[in-house]
Amino acid sequence: MIFLAPHVVADIKIDGQTLTIEAAISIARGHRKAILCEDARLRMVESREAVESIIESGKTIYGINTGFGAMSSVKIGEEDLEKLQANLIRSHACGVGHKMEPEHVLLMMLFRANSLAKGVSGIRPEIIELLLDMVNNGIAPIIPRIGSLGASGDLAPLSHMALAILGEGESMVRNETGWETIASSDALKSAGLRPRSLAAKEGLSLINGTSQMCCYLALTLTNLDILIHAADASAAASLEAIKGSHTPYDSRIHEARPQLGQSESSTRIRGLLKDSEIKLSHADCDRVQDAYCFRCVPQVHGPVIDLLNESKKMLEIEINSATDNPLVFVKEEGVDVLSGGNFHGQNLALASDNIAVACHELASISERRMNQVLDPKWSDQIPFLALNEGLESGYMIVQYVAAACLAELHLMANPVTTSNVPVSMGKEDHVSMGATGTYRSLQSTILLSQVLANELICSTEALDRIPYQPGIGVGIIRNWVRGQVAKYTGDKVMSDECSNLSDNLLNGQLKNILG
């Protein structure tokens, strides 16, 4: 028996035009159901009828009755078209590496279904309905992550997905206790579904698109949206922990350079610092300027906000686009089947490269703030926030771990778009490597969350040792951290506390508390 995850609410209509990132992730997590829109069904029927009329006419059209890639000039007889689609799926299902997470697979499936629901791919609506039924019932085909070049579509991963439609391979199934792996045919049967054979062009339509890249980039942007708020919160907490100046956050400075992200970051931090007793306590101090890691936070965090917003816009266009090839356009005077390159993921790949760099920069400036919180020259506290200097190490290695994460982020900030490898005997001579890039950027957000968590641990401890109250927002942040990380009373093992705080940052707990 298949069980849906709890908290199911209103259905989301899949129409190839209006799907949002947030709604898609909610569906993949089992919180909402997806249903095919009737208008999309009608468009799909029309394009499918056009494909069948081409087959009956005997015309040779790429993707419908020919081979693929470098073999596109080979015509396939009508009697072999169904076998051609099955061969395509089986031959392309040769991915390697770790399995994709089941919820990631469901998100990829949903993006593929929505793209095909646009109605210009020549695929039958019942195939898309089967995909959506699988998503709604938590049936995630087992898919090795590595295999896509980010052009010609995410061919290998999507082929493993399509195997399950044929009733082949294995799938992970969501149940009351988690996920179990069973034969795809049994998974379909347990949900009252049945495998489908694929007619002409349908196999190509299923695998020729940017859905794996979209999946990883959607998760990346969701994480980054949470973490940019956490980065501002962490900066505010560390600023108070070193009794730093609030002047760099004065609205007049940012109105003089009205970059949107910069203004948003400075406004958010300024709000967190409101009503600070710490600020009042050092009104006559002799510190002229803080280091750049405090003074330039809005100017560093702000461009990441701008990048995030632009990437979201691009991705929401992408998930509501037809990204296979060829595309079938039906008009009153006939049918045009056009070969193009919408499967090319250069837009997603470039965004992922930029995001990986952005994650490195957020982590880099965070680690520098952490260094100052632990340095008595800036914090006026015992080195590394120990209690017994020399006998204890305090949070010395918490910073080391952040620096180690930063080294990984530095490695991952190298671009993948520059690693083109021509394939298919030179027919496909430029690829984006976007699947590699978007997965890498997702991992970058996870590493960033750990650096920010470690900074919050250090700043919270320092704040506890200052006899003045921080800004109201910073006080909320401190209480949230203290609910998960105990006050320092001596050296102890901290791996679990550091990891748990990172996980809860990514879960959006702090963002939700701060509003």
Closest CA relative to residue 140, chosen from 114, 175, 115, 116:
175
Distance CA 282, CA 10 (A): 53
Distance CA 435, CA 216 (A): 8
Distance CA 432, CA 152 (A): 10
Residue at 208: amino acid letter: N
Catalytic residue among 62, 249, 400, 468: 62
Helices 211-241 and 102-116, interaxial angle, to 10°? Answer: 120
Told to judge if 468 belongs to the known catalytic residues of this protein, a careful annotator would answer: no
Distance CA 218, CA 114 (A): 14
Distance CA 249, CA 251 (A): 6
Contact yes or no for 148/207 (Cβ under 8 A): no
Which residues have CB under 8 Å from 218's CB, separation 6+?
21, 24, 25, 107, 111, 315, 319
Which residues have CB under 8 Å from 331's CB, separation 6+?
none
Distance CA 114, CA 293 (A): 43
Residue 408 phi, psi (nearest 5): -65, -45
Catalytic residues: 62
